[in-house]
Amino acid sequence: MSDDTQVITAVDGRLGRITLNRPRAINAVSHDMLAPIAAALASFAADPDVAAVLIDGAGERGFCAGGDIRAIYESLLAGTTAAVDYWRDEYVINLAIARFPKPYIAIMDGLTLGGGVGLSAHGSVRVVTERSLVGLTQVNIGFVPDIGGSYLLARSPGRLGYYAGLTAAQLGPADAILCGLADVCIASFDIPAAVDAVRAAADSGGDIRAAVDSFATQPPAGLLETARPWIDAAFSAPTVPAIIAALRARPEVAAHATADVLAAKSPTALRLTLELLRDGVDRTLEHALAAELEVARGLTTGHDLREGIRAQVIDKDRNPQWDPDR
């Protein structure tokens, strides 16, 4: 077992375990956490005695609330490369998870946002519970859905990924499954038993997915399936202003509310997100991550990312003053 406080790794029988261990920060991923995660993945991949890997988060509030936004803010203020270095190292892990040669099971209980999606949704068995909220919510801080988010959301049905990425929606379990960010819902109280079943399947050479599916339950009804007609129609518009106009022209109250949500976000972040999503459908994950890194690097020299973090995380006044010209 390895325990560096923020990341705990172990081999339990033939199951490799990674636990994010910052429960008071809802397991937000700091730069210091990336190296032990990467090392564990490399070790587990090479170890013939490890048949599968399971990742989860400590505490009751969530698997992972995203990246260490305060550290990114400090890098932006200081003009250092720390933020870009963080993203680069993070994206290497995202790609490693997608390419992992063994079953990779992610327990996405509770909040699973931003970087938490990157540590889970690229896996082979993505498990949500009735209390999961899954989202690529980066536009809230003037950023873009990175960690391969443009690749994942571009492959959601219809224009649901565009809706999720541009509005920063936090998706319940049914909607996360519908959008392709998760595979199966189990009851939160069944997590310990499901983990035991996964470990038993790993030990015996059994079917990991079948072990998880034996605990499957119907998630609470989602919101997006019935909203698809207006979402698909409006989010097919060619630009963000056109999307907002199309939403306001719809008869649905929810469409008008969505237009208000978009109108309050950084125009720069929305424009770049739309471009990444449009191109993401034709990109490999590796190319999508490279494109996201270039966009992220550009945003470090602009105004809106700093302002978004200030408003949402530092001062918490929730009143960002966007300026797309700076």
**2 backbone dihedrals φ, ψ, rounded to 5°:** -120, 130
> Token pair for residue 66?
């995203």
Say what the pLDDT of residue 125 is.
Answer: 98
Q: Which helix (H) or strand (E) holds 289?
A: helix 285-299
Which residues touch 139 (CB under 8 Å, ≥6 apart)? Answer: 145, 165, 166, 167, 168, 265, 266, 269, 270, 273
Strands 2-3 and 7-12: antiparallel
Domains and CATH numbers, the chain: 2-314 (3.90.226.10)
> Token pair for residue 55?
């990742």
Positive or negative, the CA dihedral 122, 123, 126, 132 is negative
Q: How would you list the strands of the sheet with 111-113, edge to edge?
A: 62-64, 111-113, 133-135
Burial pattern 76-98, b for ≥16 Cβ within 10 A else e, equals beeeeebbbebbbebbebbbbbb
Angle at 21 between CA 19 and CA 22, to 5 degrees: 150
**Digits of tens for pLDDT over the chain (326 positions)?**
555 689 999 999 999 999 999 999 999 999 999 999 999 999 999 999 999 999 999 999 999 999 999 999 999 999 999 999 999 999 999 999 999 999 999 999 999 999 999 999 999 999 999 999 999 999 999 999 999 999 999 999 999 999 999 999 999 999 999 999 999 999 999 999 999 999 999 999 999 999 999 999 999 999 999 999 999 999 999 999 999 999 999 999 999 999 999 999 999 999 999 999 999 999 999 999 999 999 999 999 999 999 999 999 999 999 999 998 77
Say what the pLDDT of residue 324 is.
Answer: 85
**CA–CA distance, 76 with 56 (Å, rounded to integer):** 30
**CA–CA distance, 186 with 163 (Å, rounded to integer):** 26
